[in-house]
Structure 1
Amino acid sequence: MSDSSDAAQADRALKARHRAMWALGDYPLVATDVIPDLGPALVRESGVRPGTRVLDVAAGSGNAAIPAALEGADVVAVDLTPELLEAGRHLAAERGAELEWREADAEELPFPDADFDTVVSCVGVMFAPHHQQAADELVRVCRPGGTIGLANWTPEGFVGQMFTAMRPYAPPPPPGAQPAPLWGDESHVRSLLGDRVTGVDARRRMLRVDRFSRPEEFREFFKNCYGPTVAVYGAVADDPDKVTALDAALTDLAAQHLAHGAMEWEYLLVTAERTPG
């Protein structure tokens, strides 16, 4: 087998693991109960209006896509995980939002060049393993003069710290896969987008999360509902000492951030205009 065939096979296996990971737990519940304000904020800052043709990349269950559709935009939501798309369809129907849902890889989008006015991703594309490839696709499908809008967890914020806390218990990442929270670093995102965009506006913001009254409540919710956390617990399930240590790490982290029944989770909000050419 050739090197290119080996690489393609490895990439398919990696994407299959990602697809399976995000089907674990109940990410739609995370989106609706924990971070419901994040998608609407991204839609608002990206200037979505009635008639805007919008692509939501790694859309999950539609945290940004559904609010965009409710604004009157012409929305296509894509994600690698069919279970999340199905949940999104049900949520959209409940809220009276009309949009298109398609299974697609953020690193290989099935759309022509310059097909959308606005391309957004709400803590989604950051989890694609090959950052430059994903960024290239965001830029490619956005029309000249169009908007790219991103909301990504920062490395230093709560979610970035959570991934750091889980790292010792997780299997090693495959070769070439980059850490998701890097997308929350302004210099990294600017490097990924390069001179293909202009007017980059990158701001660190705080999302207030008031879903959890105790650190243990946060831990148990994420242990059961958030795919990456569910997967890490699965990796150490046969080692009670590691499970106990991971429990303690997540509880301690939540205790450091929880005050008066709320936490502040930092994210990077980026908007940019696609340059001509």
Structure 2
Amino acid sequence: MTDATEAARADVQADAAIKAKHRKMWALGDYPTLAGELIPELGTALVEACGVASGDKVLDIAAGTGNAAIPAAQAGADVVACDLTPELLEAGRRLARKHDVELEWREADAEALPFGDGEFDTVMSCVGIMFAPHHEAAAGELLRVCRPGGTVGMINWTPEGFIGQMFAAMKPYAPPPPPGAQPPPLWGKEEHVRTLLGDKVTGPEMRRQTVRVDRFDGPEAFRDYFKAVYGPTIAVYRNIAGSPDRVAELDRALADLAREHGSGSGGFAMDWEYLLVTARRSG
């Protein structure tokens, strides 16, 4: 076996390990409840921004439980929702049945999609593809499966917004990222997205918007909720479970962050910033 073959095999094994870790992380807690309670309107906003219409063939990448895929199906589109985590897909199937809509659910890696070139009229992702560790690979697949003239659309959390700042607060307590992995909130920077999409799209439009989250009674309630239901937060706390002092530090950091971003006028509320991206596939 040549050195090149051994290196290639090692790369494949390392990538498989990364994806297995991501799959396990997103199965922790109860992301379906979080998405439904905190950000249900984001999927509809993305579908409307993409102009999804009846008869369109739509792919939702890293779809989770179908926050965007289900509204696209309700608009009459032929929808495929794909995600790395089977548990989220199963929750999405249940939710689709509840809404009495039909769509296809596929387990798939955003960095190696099992679809043909130019197969879809619209390819979108709602706070999903941004968590794929290798941004160029994921962007390449996003573009590859969209037909020339088709629509690409994304909603991504910004680095400066609340969720981006939450990931920054958790970083010192998390395990080191695998080699080559890039931070998810980079997908919320306009210049990063322009670089990723390059000349494969025309007329990209990018708008920073916010979603209001007013479910929590206060900063500590937010922190405790995320500790219980959000996979990435649960994984970070598990990483430091043997150090009560570090757990207490992170407890304070997350509550302080929520307090900084929250408003007490008429009840505690936060506005979470995201970047809405739409573009046309060139070619």
Partner of 2:51: 47
1:232 and 2:236 equivalent?
A: yes
Deviations 1:91-142, CA, capped at 9 Å, x for gaps? 0100111100000000000000000000000000000000000000000000
Partner of 2:101: 97
Structure 2 regions of 5+ residues with no counterpart?
Answer: none
The secondary structure found in structure 2 opposite 1:233 is: helix
Deviations 1:1-56, CA, capped at 9 Å, x for gaps? 71111111000000000000000000001110011111110010010011111000
1:138 and 2:142 equivalent?
A: yes
Partner of 1:17: 21
For 2:44 and 2:71, how far apart are their aligned partners in 1?
6
Give the counterpart letter for 1:239 in structure 2.
Answer: S
Partner of 1:196: 200
For 2:18 and 2:26, how far apart are their aligned partners in 1?
13
Deviations 1:55-109, CA, capped at 9 Å, x for gaps? 0000001100011111111000000000000000000100111100000000000
Deviation at 1:213, TM superposition (A): 1.8
Superposition TM-score, scaled by structure 1 size: 0.99
Q: From 265, 278, 282, give the equivalent of 1:271.
A: 278
1:248 and 2:252 equivalent?
A: yes
Q: From 198, 201, 211, give the equivalent of 2:215.
A: 211
Runs of 4 or more above 6 Å deviation = none
Q: From 168, 175, 183, give the equivalent of 1:164.
A: 168
Q: Percent identity?
A: 67
Partner of 1:28: 32
The secondary structure found in structure 2 opposite 1:177 is: coil
The secondary structure found in structure 2 opposite 1:2 is: helix
The secondary structure found in structure 1 opposite 2:237 is: helix
Output aligned runs, 1:106-117, within 5 Å.
Answer: 106-117=110-121
1:183 and 2:187 equivalent?
A: yes
For 1:37 and 1:253, how far apart are their aligned partners in 2?
24
For 1:212 and 1:258, how far apart are their aligned partners in 2?
10
Output aligned runs, 1:65-80, within 5 Å.
Answer: 65-80=69-84
For 2:72 and 2:225, how far apart are their aligned partners in 1?
28
For 1:72 and 1:66, how far apart are their aligned partners in 2?
10
Structure 1 regions of 5+ residues with no counterpart?
Answer: none
The CA RMSD measured in Å over matched residues stands at 0.7
Deviation at 1:261, TM superposition (A): 2.1
Deviation at 1:257, TM superposition (A): 1.2
1:87 and 2:91 equivalent?
A: yes
The secondary structure found in structure 2 opposite 1:37 is: helix
The secondary structure found in structure 1 opposite 2:150 is: strand
For 1:237 and 1:43, how far apart are their aligned partners in 2?
40
Q: From 159, 163, 167, give the equivalent of 1:155.
A: 159
The secondary structure found in structure 2 opposite 1:121 is: strand
For 1:273 and 1:203, how far apart are their aligned partners in 2?
16
Deviation at 1:273, TM superposition (A): 0.0
Give the counterpart letter for 1:188 in structure 2.
Answer: H
For 2:232 and 2:215, how far apart are their aligned partners in 1?
19
